[in-house]
Chain A
Amino acid sequence: MLDRDQVLHVARLARLELSEEEVERMAAELSHVLDHIEKIRELDLEGVAPTSHVIDVVNVLRADEPEPSLPREAVLAAAPEPLMDGFGVPSPGAA
């Protein structure tokens, strides 16, 4: 069902660095699960509306009124790399 290349492609989309062995295992496991899930393809669901919310609610809106923000110390408390009062990351443009 799911081949190596597909697993690698999906892993790249999901930002997961799979080892060689994990790629093989993932391909087998996902294929096994998908084989089971495939059954829903048999259903004729022509014209059925998809459900993304089970509750029948619309227009939940918030007044445009400010609320207190968090203090910066709290915001940066868990930062793996605090930098310049912000969150440091490897530069996306770095080689």
Chain B
Amino acid sequence: MNELIALSAAEAAERVRAGEIDPGELFDAYRQRAAADDLNAFTWVADEAPRDHDYAHTPLGGVPVAVKDLFCTEGVPSQSGSKILEGYRPPYSATVVRNLAEAGAPLLGKTNQDEFAMGSSNENSAFGPVLNPWDRRRVPGGSSGGSAAAVAAGLAPWAIGTDTGGSIRQPAALCGVVGLKPTYGACSRYGMIAFASSLDQAGPFTRNVTDAALLFRHMVGQDRRDSTSLEFPEPIELPRGEDLKGVRLGIPEELVGADAGVDPGVRASFDETLRLAEELGATLEPCQLPHASHALSAYYLIAPAEASANLARFDGVRYGLREDGASDLTTMYSRTREVGFGPEVQRRIMLGTYALSSGYYDAYYGKAQKVRTKIAEDFRGAFERFDFVITPTSPWTAFELGSKTHDPLAMYLNDFCTVPMSLAGIPAISIPSGLSEGLPVGFQLAGPAFSEPRLLAAAYALEQAIGFDGSPARA
């Protein structure tokens, strides 16, 4: 049994396709682990894989995938970590989930998350926090904390999550797995319960870069149901290159400089990775992203503003929670939403509503959109000189449960290094670069739009050089 779990997803898929592994057994091995989950990573686990597939003849070979709660899955609870959607089973499935199922990755289970993807610690889930498999007193990061923890702990061979301002990359970093936030538009958003529509992107969580490339290959594609989705312009090959010859890496001073508040252990791991990159042939130079230090402010206006509208549909009329009694319509709305949404979601709805309200739009939302323009320009400028921009994924490693919940602003600072790429809509990957005091550290590479194949290749080369051992978390 443990033999099956030890295989990477790509290896497992290959073995199923070669007829060496029974996909049913593989599914069952993971199903049992997921069902025995004691990290609270899963909110729902499947009984079995759909039997109407000849998995040996599918590209993903029946290797099951764990799916963040906010992806709609037909007939299966899809609650986005919220009490307001407790027990909600949608009548349709998200395009990405369907794409994966068709490619031969059946649904293993739904993973816990911060409510409506708002959070960086998974402590905002209505279904309880997820524990970090490296240290159960610590958070797995968020918002896709369940997916990250499930992959890190070997409860799932791979998983998908969503990233709005860092929700794939940061938990990947804190759990010691690979997390890719794709170019905005690469994966369909249809069926993803929206947080901030202009930022949300689906992406893979995997044990290694090769698995990430394989899963990502079957997630992408233009979807006629998502006007903002695009055809990926080239095939996504599995990465091979083992060096970084001629690759120019830019280190943005605004995000990595002395004032950026990067934890010393994280910095040490980052510096060590830089050394390895140079050894592999990369050139390193500081670069400027002059507006990056304002990215967090812009993000915390744009994302809540969009969220305030996206979450307005949770009104107790068609689905989900209703707090009614003998109340009038307005009271029904207000009470339902007060009871159904957790404090962080309410805070962001308030912030977003305020930022859009009459008299404040120009000063807040309008201004944030202009900052967004400047940040995208900054990156375009940087990519004229550099292939990739690199930073630590998170300024720190996994923190203790409860240690930041009382200071929203401190929690928001988790996203300091990940938010600029989200605003620019560009791809970024986090790979484990080592440990600091026994906890994983993430290394982030970001490239121009649709540079994922090159980004994955560079990440792969680094991964080989780093030789990170993720297995302690899967013990």
A and B found bound together: yes
Which residues in A have some Cβ–Cβ distance to B below 8 Å?
2, 6-7, 9-18, 22, 26, 29-30, 32-34, 36-41, 43, 45, 48-55, 57, 60, 62, 70, 74-75, 77-81, 87, 89-92, 94-95
Chain A residue at smallest Cβ distance from B322? A80
A sample of 14 inter-chain contacts (CB < 8 A) reads: A6-B354, A10-B350, A11-B350, A14-B312, A15-B337, A33-B347, A33-B351, A33-B408, A36-B300, A40-B367, A51-B370, A52-B198, A54-B424, A54-B425
Identify B91's interface contact among A34, A45, A75, CB under 8 A: A75
Given contacts A16-B338, A17-B331, A92-B329, contact A80 B316 (CB under 8 A): yes
The answer to whether A7 touches B294 (Cβ under 8 A) is no
Which residues in B have some Cβ–Cβ distance to A below 8 Å?
88-89, 91-92, 184-185, 198, 224, 227-228, 230, 291, 294, 296-298, 300-301, 308, 312, 315-322, 324, 327-335, 337-338, 341, 346-347, 349-351, 353-354, 357, 363-364, 366-374, 376, 408-409, 412, 423-425, 449
Identify A55's interface contact among B89, B184, B341, B408, CB under 8 A: B184
What's the nearest-Cβ distance from chain A to residue B71, in Å?
17
Chain A neighbourhood of B296, CB < 8 A: 36
Chain B neighbourhood of A48, CB < 8 A: 370, 373-374
The answer to whether B318 touches A79 (Cβ under 8 A) is yes
Known A-B contacts: A10-B354, A36-B300. Give 4 more (CB < 8 A): A15-B337, A45-B374, A54-B424, A81-B322
Chain A residue at smallest Cβ distance from B363? A41
Closest 3 CB pairs of A and B: A54-B425, A50-B369, A78-B319
The answer to whether A16 touches B357 (Cβ under 8 A) is no
The answer to whether A94 touches B328 (Cβ under 8 A) is yes
Given contacts A6-B354, A57-B185, A57-B230, contact A90 B332 (CB under 8 A): yes
**Which among A15, A17, A70 has the highest number of chain B CB atoms within 10 Å?**
A15
The answer to whether B350 touches A17 (Cβ under 8 A) is no
Chain A neighbourhood of B341, CB < 8 A: 16
The CA-CA distance from A3 to B194 in the complex, in Å, is 30
Chain A residue at smallest Cβ distance from B373? A51
Identify B308's interface contact among A14, A80, A92, CB under 8 A: A14
The answer to whether B324 touches A14 (Cβ under 8 A) is no
What's the nearest-Cβ distance from chain B to residue A15, in Å?
4
The answer to whether B409 touches A39 (Cβ under 8 A) is no
